[in-house]
Structure 1
Amino acid sequence: MFILGQEKRRRINLGGATSASSHVDILHQAKAQRSQRQDSRKRQESAAHIQAWWRGVCRRRAVKRELRLLFEADALGLNGLRALVLIGRNEEVLAQWSSAVLQEGEGAILQHFVGPERNSWLVLVRRAALLILQSAADFPQSQHTVAHLRVLDVLLSPSIAPRVLGPQGAEVTLEFTRYFLGHNLYPLLAKAISGIPIELKSSAALPLIVLLLTYPFQTINPAHSELYIAAYTQLLIGPFSLPLLPNRLPLQSITHIAANFPLSNISILASSILEVVEALATEARVHLLANLVAFVPPRYAKLDSSSLNTILQLFTALMDALPTHALDPPSRKTSVASRKHALDDSSDSESESEDITRVIAVNAFVPPPPPLPTLDARTLTRLTTLVSTGHITSLLTTTQRHPSTRPSLYAFVLSLCTVWPKQADSVLSHIVVSNGGGIARELYKGYVRSSGLGSDDSPTGLTDPARAKSWPTLLFLVDLYSTMLLTMGDDEFFSSGKNNAPRNPLTLDELTAFSRQLRNIAFTLYWREDQTDVQEGRVPGVALKWEGVREKVTKCLLALHARDSRKPFTPPGHWLVTAQIDMSSFIEAAVFEEQQIAQPVGAKALTKRQISYLSPRLGVLNNIPFTIPFEVRVSILRNFIANDMQNRGIDRHDLHRRARATVRRGHVAEDGFDKLGEADLKQPIEITFIDQFGEQEMGIDGGGVFKEFLTDLAKEVFDSNRGLWLVNKNNELYPNPGQYATEPHSLNWYRFIGRILGKALYEGILVDVVFASFFLAKWLGKQSFLDDLESLDPELYQGLVFLKHYTGDPEDLALNFTISDEEFGVAKTIELVPHGSNIAVTRSNRLEYIHRVSHYRLTRQIKRQSDAFFEGLSDMIDVKWLRMFNQQELQILLGGVNTPVDLQDLRKHTNYGGLYADDHPTIVAFWNVANTLNPEQRRLMVRFVTSVGRPPLLGFKELVPNFSIRDAGEDQSRLPTSSTCVNLLKLPRYKSEKVLKDKLLQAITSGAGFDLS
């Protein structure tokens, strides 16, 4: 009996667990149970799959056994063929079938292609043949490969099927050819060739593979253009892009390819050239180029114009797709015959890659240059055919017979020189020797003159794709004519060709128009605000960036302007672009941009390329400065110097912050070298002279005494008897090339002289010294040419001109690549190139010899001296400031304008002292007398007062201090004297104009000079 409320009740948890279990434990338990169920289901499914797979394997094995038995029972029958195709890549079965086909004879299998079951046989045999082709490609050294290839020979040979089947045989062969081309015939054959080691030329498979390479072009009618193009494209992309293809093949196979390569039909590829090139990697492009070079050049003469055009365009496209130097990696050692060592002049290395980001922070990402391919020495040797004189001559001769191919030839040479820059000089020089004049005339008159590039009415339309065909001819003419100018003397440059004399290929009128084109192109490219486009943008029609075009055009433009500067042939204002820009704003912007890119003291000087990138205006001023008026550039230079002084805190009037030096009369150079050799010459310099009695000369140096110091120092250091300087026939100075001048002490003197002349330029003080133009060119990093040699060594110049135009065999002259130097009676032989004594001067290399000799005499002999001088000069004057001028303009900056003295300008900027004023009777008489002097007497008068006989470059307002006249008493017997340090004429108060003229002429012609009274 239960008592209500006291019975024991069972506690039930509806969650399915005891009350002590937590909620987390419940979840974990449920998850574990679910995972167990899933694992069990997966095991069951996997077991079912494995069982099914195993049943399939067993069934396939059984089927293959059945198929194998079926095949062996009827290897050459239709059922056996079906079994073979179903079995697939079984090497043993394929070998049995190939052996059976060959044993039965070629006619047995071909006969089936004309019977009632023709289509079935065609389908099955094609599949079987593809299997044996794949087997031959994968295992080219297998013992069965030769049999496989012989079966393929039966099916693809253009002669076997027609011989067995009659007219229907050609259709069968074409059917098989079309099928195989659609199933990678040439890539598989290329794989087979590459699978045979290069040293195993005796492999029996190679001749059969080569036959298969050529069969399609004997089978396919070129009228079937799509199929023919497909075959040609596969051939080039496949076997012909293998490394060292000719080295892999036996001689008879090479001969077979040479005879059967379808070169005469290559014009069918004209529209597919880019497709071929783009399908290849960089190294494969080089290999294709090298392999074509092995087979194509001997057949140039047999080609029609369309085929020759296409092969040149293919060569060009392949080279255009390669990185610069791809054919001439740094490790390569060139042969003696093609050696073109870099000239050791002081020019900017514009061919080197320069990292602009090291100069200024820019956000643009500059991608690294593409890696150069790694090429076998045999490939490189084969590629030298491209730049050989024989190959270039063959092309010139062949294209002469086909005028329509000339533009393709010019594009080819341009691309060759671009991708192989070390060989560019050799190639261009040979073209110059062959017929450079005729080609230059043809280029200009036939293509460049009417191209519209750089025209005055549309100078900015350079990027128009419609003008893509015009760029190769213009740039090739630029390269060719630049090369011609290297060895073209002024007599030839300005010759009209009368009396059979050598003549310039372009008339002076044509050169005027051509230089205007180049000026417009160069200025447009330098003037672009966004220089990133110039650096990275591609030129239509050529594989060059705009920066490369700009450099080529600038090089030729500078050479033409140099000729015009020496002997004008263009009209006044020809080089200027003042109509295109506002000069006032140009000056302001140039000064601002120079401040923006100013570098710390001691930093490496910016190259012209870097400056062009950072500042369009400074790019113009440093590369084509002659497009801006000279007076504007001088004004910019003065602004640059003023800013530099301000940045350095230089005050010319601060007497307390001056470097001081005491120098003895008669020992100005020696004391100046000792006292100022390490001084900061940009600061004002205070000079104190010690007279011949050892007494200090009185007076305060307000700038005039330092000017006198410069004048006296120049007289001493530039005295040719001191051994540092020599003079040419025009009394122009250049460094002594002798051994003494290269000793350390002498180089220190050159460095000091450079600093002192830099100080003169910095202060605007004129110095009466004239340098040879070729030496001034070194200041600007420019290269000297043959025409510069005439002023240095007229006899050598005439000899080189004779050699250039010698009509006989130059080898009869017994010259080699050496030159003799004589010093102190001792002669020594200098090799112009390594092993130069073993290299004879021939018709093909005589221009190189002329250039080497000129370069040695004008540059190499004085390189160390010039470098030391320029090192000192650049301590004072920023390199980019100097590059705003040419040689003639630098001479004007140093010594004034070699023009008649403008008396009105002189009088307008003359100061008077003592009793004198502009209306004083003696002053009136002085100017009356001055007006009666001839030009030479006026220069002597200016020289007498200022120490320099040429007016300042911007007129007498620039003379520092101004020209001054002070009275010197009433003694009528006394001669006028001067203080050249302050440009002061001390003129007695003469009573008559006759006496004044007589005394003045006596003073200025007798050498009277500085007076301390």
Structure 2
Amino acid sequence: MLPLFGDENRRKINLGGSSSVSTLSSITDQAKARRIERTEQKRRNDSATRIQAWWRAVSGIRAAKKIMRSSFEADIEGLTGLRCMVLIGVDQQLLGKWSQTIVANGEASLFAPSVGSNRSSWQVLIRQAFVLLLRATAASPKSVNAINHLKIMNMLLSPEVVTRHLGPTGRDAAGNILAYALKRRFYSLLSEAIRSIPTTEAKTSLSLPLLIPPATAAFSLFSTTSVAYADSLAALLENVLTIPLLPNRLPLPTLTHLSSHFPFSSFSLLSFSLDDCTVIDRIHLVANLVAFTPPRYAVLPAPALTAYLKLLTALFDSLPAEAFEEPSKRYASASAAATSGDVDSDDESRPVVSIVSSFTPTAPPTPLPDLDARTLKRLSTLVASAHISSLLTVTQKHSDATRSALFSMLLALEGVWPGKSSAILGAIVVGSGGASVIKELWRGSVRRANATNILREFQRSSEESEASIPSIIFLADLYTHALLTMGDDEFFGTSAHAGGSSSAPRNPMSLDELTVFSRLLLDVAFGLYQGPVDSEGDTNMSGTTGPRSVRFTWEEVREKVTRCLVAIHARDSRRPFTPPDHWLVSAQVDLRSFVEAALFEEQQISSNNSRAVTARQVARLAPRLGILHNIPFSIPFSTRVQVFRSFIFSDMMSRRTEEDQYSHRHGSRLHVIIRRENIAQDGFDRLKDLDLKSRIGITFIDKFGEEEAGIDGGGVFKEFFTSLCKEAFDTDRGLWLANKKNELYPNPHSYAVETHNLNWYRFIGRIIGKAMYEGILVDIAFAGFFLAKWLGKQSFLDDLASLDPDLYSGLIFLKHYAGNPEDLSLNFTVAVEDFGATKSVDLVPNGSNIAVTKENRLQYIYLVSHYRLSKQIKQQSEAFFEGLSEIIDHKWLKMFNQQELQILIGGTDNPVDLDDLQGNTQYGGIYDSNHGTIISFWRVVRSFDQEQRRALLRFVTSCSRPPLLGFKELVPNFAIRDAGADELRLPTSSTCVNLLKLPRYQSEKVLRTKLLQAITANAGFDLS
């Protein structure tokens, strides 16, 4: 059936929905497109409207300027012309024409429009014109127009010129112009203009002479009490005196003008923030200040000089370390500090310390810009002896505040230029006022300092100590440097040196004062090594912060204090002047818990030895070890020996398991065959490559080639060891020399550094290490300066007395010589005798051409001492230390000083305690403590004097000195065994097992006679 109507217009509906969604999406897209089109059309219309408005404005301005230009041309010198020029703004052509006209017609034409009722308008317009001229000059300072601009600016700021034309109000009018300009970057624009002129063109520039007078105009226009005056002074320093090589840029007359008009006496008014100055700006500010100020030190008022010194201090403290150093030398001292293991380390020694792997190294320093050689030369005057001496002389007549500011400045200079620290301190020590400075620092503020307050400052809870901290640090630095070349006669004030002046320098601090000072340093150092401990057990000595009054971190403060403390303690160790227990902090610490904590810290560090670390880092991570390494004398010697033996025992235990596993497969110990007639050479050949920490069994071969009977239970090894040491340290072998006290040190002659002999030094070091490891006492005394090198410590002038008394006397004579040292014809060389021939060695490059003068004689004395005490035996010592450190961890030895180290090697020099010896003696055969012969023996021994008792000890144990911690520590114990009834027989001994073989004497008189005969005749070793 056909449809009634056509369906071509009927809406078609798809029940599936896909067509409907597509249609809806199309409608949405179309609507969005139309909206975007409308928005874009509106944006174009708005833009067109703005462009039209801008164009109308530009056209209007151009038309207005055209009209004003016409008016300007018609009245260039009049008020209308001035007004038109100001309204037009910075237009180089217009400004140039105006300034050219004014300059051509003279200064009268500049002030002509200011007459009558126009004066107020002229004053408003002229200050605006002044700023326009300044901006135009800054944009193009070398142009001809700039010269005319500057001439007009100088007219407007000259009180004489302005007053001549405006009358009594002229000065105020000029001040008003400058005040207006100051608020509109006056000094900044002047700086831009000066900097835009290359240094190579500066001397011939016509603009520079005209740029400087406006820079100093404020100080003649403003009252010193006004804010504008102080602001101008600050702006001058911040913008003009930060210009690189400013004195080199200026022609001489201009330089003279700046120098004569600079308000040096107003430094006390200075107040500005360094935050707006870059690092390089601060460096150039220092260089320029040093160029202009020193010649006026003598005439500066005390407040101005004090403010100047404080300004330098602030500048130094705001700069990175080594900012003044030559680029090739930068970071050298920082790198050395990072790798140094000791606050008093000897450059010739080697720190060997291990660290936990979690330690994070310090980030590298921020790179600094390279400085021009002329700037470096100018900065070098800061550390020149003449400059420092002049400051010391000038400030003597000023108040304590000025002197305190000087000391703070010198301390800050040390911090910013660590490479010149020695030069700074030396300039003070060498000068005639060196002793007075030390006295002044001590008596002025340090004597009143309180360690508790200083440590509170460390915890940031008190500001009471801020004033004393710089003085303490500087005094510690200065006195440490003074001790480098101070002999014991000078230190203890015993006498003036022969040949010197009757007023030869003495120790600037009395022994009583040093006692108080050293205790203050000890309390501060101990508190800083302990430090507050955080939740992880680490001290807060992070190295990133420090006292608010100095630039140094607390770690650096601690090191400076420690260095001085150690130097004073070294003198007290040689010749005690402090009361008993002066150096101990036993009351501040529980020794038992201290020892336990130290052992734990050592185990923690030793178990993670993947990274080398310095003493500073150990002190941070392990505070008890830090105390033991750096100020060990604060802990009783017996406690430190206990810690030392505990370290060794712990090391033995850690090796025991490995050795037991090895002995399962290879036997219980290492066996070595030694020919009795060739002990030293066989010992060297057989033991040089063995692990001497292992248990070693010795088998002797007699002169007939037969093995000697017996099993080495430790005693035979001791006998071998004793004989080996006797041969190895025999001075006839050529490896060792002895001083007048019969103390040994390496032979400095050239053949001693041959490869074979260095291997012997290495081997001997291992042997001494084995003795210390096993607790075997060696009857050998080493020279103090050589023992100091074991500890990585520096040897000083007074150590030279034990090596070469004649050279020491000569250097002391030179130090105190009242005449001109150049009359002695000395140079920086040292004479060395080798195989009968004398040769000259330079102490510094080209030393033979450098004369010893009054200024450099302390450096010469130090270098000669250092050469003889350290450099001559450098290779021999290093070989010895290399062997020693294979057995004994270097940081274990740092718990002792030289004297204590000698005791550790050979026993104590204390009298033989017979009660202790008798209480720790064992008996064998038929003997016991109640046997008649034993009773007689002890009665006889108690009648001996100390020399006889020592002889008995040497006879039985091979060492005349008692063990460190008493005879209970003697291994094996002292023993007496029955040797039969033959009373004609002398007593004998087996030193390898510390055994006395005593016949059964019936008479006490016979026992005494036979025993004395045996111990004084050195009866030999008995194998029976």
- Fold shared, TM-score > 0.5 on shorter chain: yes
Indicate yes or no: 2:882 matched with 1:871.
Answer: yes
Partner of 2:684: 673
Residue pair 1:945, 1:978 contacting (<8 A) in 2 also = yes
What secondary structure is seen at the aligned counterpart in 1 of 2:977? strand
Give the partner amino acid of 1:207.
P
Equivalent residue for 1:447, pick from 431, 445, 448: 445
What secondary structure is seen at the aligned counterpart in 2 of 1:663? strand
Q: What CA distance in whole angstroms lies between the structure 2 residues aligned with 1:882 and 1:514?
A: 27
What secondary structure is seen at the aligned counterpart in 2 of 1:331? helix
Q: What displacement does 1:462 show?
A: 8.4
Q: What CA distance in whole angstroms lies between the structure 2 residues aligned with 1:913 and 1:417?
A: 68
Partner of 1:801: 812
What secondary structure is seen at the aligned counterpart in 2 of 1:597? helix
Return 2-11 or 198-207, whichever deviates more. 2-11
Change (3 A) 1:916 1:606: farther
Partner of 1:389: 385
Partner of 2:589: 581
Equivalent residue for 2:835, pick from 781, 803, 824: 824
Partner of 2:543: 535
Q: What displacement does 1:104 show?
A: 3.4
What secondary structure is seen at the aligned counterpart in 1 of 2:586? coil
Alignment gaps of 5+ in structure 2: 497-501
Return 994-1003 or 701-710, whichever deviates more. 701-710
Q: What displacement does 1:1000 show?
A: 0.5
The Cα offsets for residues 480-510 of structure 1, whole Å up to 9 and x where unpaired, read as 1111111111111111678756421111110
Residue pair 1:453, 1:470 contacting (<8 A) in 2 also = no
Indicate yes or no: 2:998 matched with 1:991.
Answer: no
Residue pair 2:355, 2:608 contacting (<8 A) in 1 also = no
Residue pair 1:467, 1:540 contacting (<8 A) in 2 also = no
Q: What displacement does 1:145 show?
A: 0.6
Q: What CA distance in whole angstroms lies between the structure 2 residues aligned with 1:761 and 1:547?
A: 33
Q: What displacement does 1:963 show?
A: 0.4
Q: What CA distance in whole angstroms lies between the structure 2 residues aligned with 1:20 and 1:680?
A: 90
Return 404-413 or 378-387, whichever deviates more. 404-413
Change (3 A) 1:59 1:500: closer
What secondary structure is seen at the aligned counterpart in 2 of 1:449? helix
Indicate yes or no: 2:670 matched with 1:659.
Answer: yes
Partner of 1:590: 598
Indicate yes or no: 2:414 matched with 1:417.
Answer: yes
Q: What displacement does 1:420 show?
A: 1.3
Change (3 A) 1:3 1:741: closer
Q: What displacement does 1:357 show?
A: 14
- Aligned pairs (5 A) from 1:494-573: 494-495=492-493, 500=503, 502-528=505-531, 529=533, 530-573=538-581
Q: What displacement does 1:648 show?
A: 2.0
- Aligned pairs (5 A) from 1:393-792: 393-404=389-400, 405-434=402-431, 435-453=433-451, 464-495=462-493, 500=503, 502-528=505-531, 529=533, 530-599=538-607, 605-649=612-656, 656-792=667-803
Give the partner amino acid of 2:901.
L
Return 130-139 or 368-377, whichever deviates more. 368-377
Residue pair 2:977, 2:998 contacting (<8 A) in 1 also = yes
Change (3 A) 1:833 1:130: same
Q: What displacement does 1:650 show?
A: 5.6
Equivalent residue for 1:930, pick from 926, 938, 941: 941
- Aligned pairs (5 A) from 1:264-303: 264-269=265-270, 272=271, 275-303=272-300
Partner of 2:499: none
The Cα offsets for residues 236-267 of structure 1, whole Å up to 9 and x where unpaired, read as 00010011111111111111112121101211
Q: What CA distance in whole angstroms lies between the structure 2 residues aligned with 1:915 and 1:91?
A: 122
Partner of 1:211: 213
Give the partner amino acid of 2:820.
D
Residue pair 1:283, 1:374 contacting (<8 A) in 2 also = no
The Cα offsets for residues 72-100 of structure 1, whole Å up to 9 and x where unpaired, read as 12223333222222211111011112112
What secondary structure is seen at the aligned counterpart in 2 of 1:821? strand
- Aligned pairs (5 A) from 1:167-206: 167-200=168-201, 201-206=203-208
Change (3 A) 1:743 1:609: same
The Cα offsets for residues 307-337 of structure 1, whole Å up to 9 and x where unpaired, read as 1111111111111111111111451599xxx
Give the partner amino acid of 1:236.
L
The Cα offsets for residues 549-572 of structure 1, whole Å up to 9 and x where unpaired, read as 111111110010011111100001
What secondary structure is seen at the aligned counterpart in 2 of 1:969? coil
Residue pair 1:455, 1:517 contacting (<8 A) in 2 also = no
Residue pair 1:453, 1:459 contacting (<8 A) in 2 also = no
Change (3 A) 1:56 1:329: same
Q: What displacement does 1:347 show?
A: 6.8
Q: What CA distance in whole angstroms lies between the structure 1 residues aligned with 2:859 and 2:889?
A: 34
The Cα offsets for residues 572-600 of structure 1, whole Å up to 9 and x where unpaired, read as 10000110110010011110111111156
Q: What CA distance in whole angstroms lies between the structure 2 residues aligned with 1:444 and 1:618?
A: 31
Q: What displacement does 1:122 show?
A: 1.7
Q: What displacement does 1:606 show?
A: 3.0
Partner of 1:315: 312
Q: What CA distance in whole angstroms lies between the structure 2 residues aligned with 1:990 and 1:122?
A: 125
Q: What displacement does 1:157 show?
A: 1.5
Q: What CA distance in whole angstroms lies between the structure 1 residues aligned with 2:89 and 2:815?
A: 72
Residue pair 1:266, 1:307 contacting (<8 A) in 2 also = yes
Q: What CA distance in whole angstroms lies between the structure 2 residues aligned with 1:708 and 1:1004?
A: 18
Q: What displacement does 1:533 show?
A: 3.6
Give the partner amino acid of 1:716.
E
The Cα offsets for residues 458-499 of structure 1, whole Å up to 9 and x where unpaired, read as 897886323222122211111111111111111111116787
Alignment gaps of 5+ in structure 1: none
Q: What CA distance in whole angstroms lies between the structure 2 residues aligned with 1:114 and 1:618?
A: 86
Identity rate, percent: 53
Return 976-985 or 308-317, whichever deviates more. 308-317
Residue pair 1:70, 1:80 contacting (<8 A) in 2 also = yes
Give the partner amino acid of 1:927.
W
Alignment: residue pair count? 998
Change (3 A) 1:722 1:931: same
Partner of 1:221: 223
Residue pair 2:343, 2:562 contacting (<8 A) in 1 also = no
Give the partner amino acid of 2:841.
I
Q: What displacement does 1:437 show?
A: 1.3
What secondary structure is seen at the aligned counterpart in 2 of 1:708? helix
Q: What CA distance in whole angstroms lies between the structure 2 residues aligned with 1:358 and 1:635?
A: 21
Residue pair 1:525, 1:534 contacting (<8 A) in 2 also = no
Partner of 1:130: 131
Return 684-693 or 75-84, whichever deviates more. 75-84
The Cα offsets for residues 502-556 of structure 1, whole Å up to 9 and x where unpaired, read as 4211111100000000001111111113434451222131111111111111111
The Cα offsets for residues 920-958 of structure 1, whole Å up to 9 and x where unpaired, read as 111111101101111000000000000000000100000
Residue pair 1:497, 1:504 contacting (<8 A) in 2 also = no
Q: What CA distance in whole angstroms lies between the structure 1 residues aligned with 2:197 and 2:631?
A: 58
Change (3 A) 1:5 1:901: same
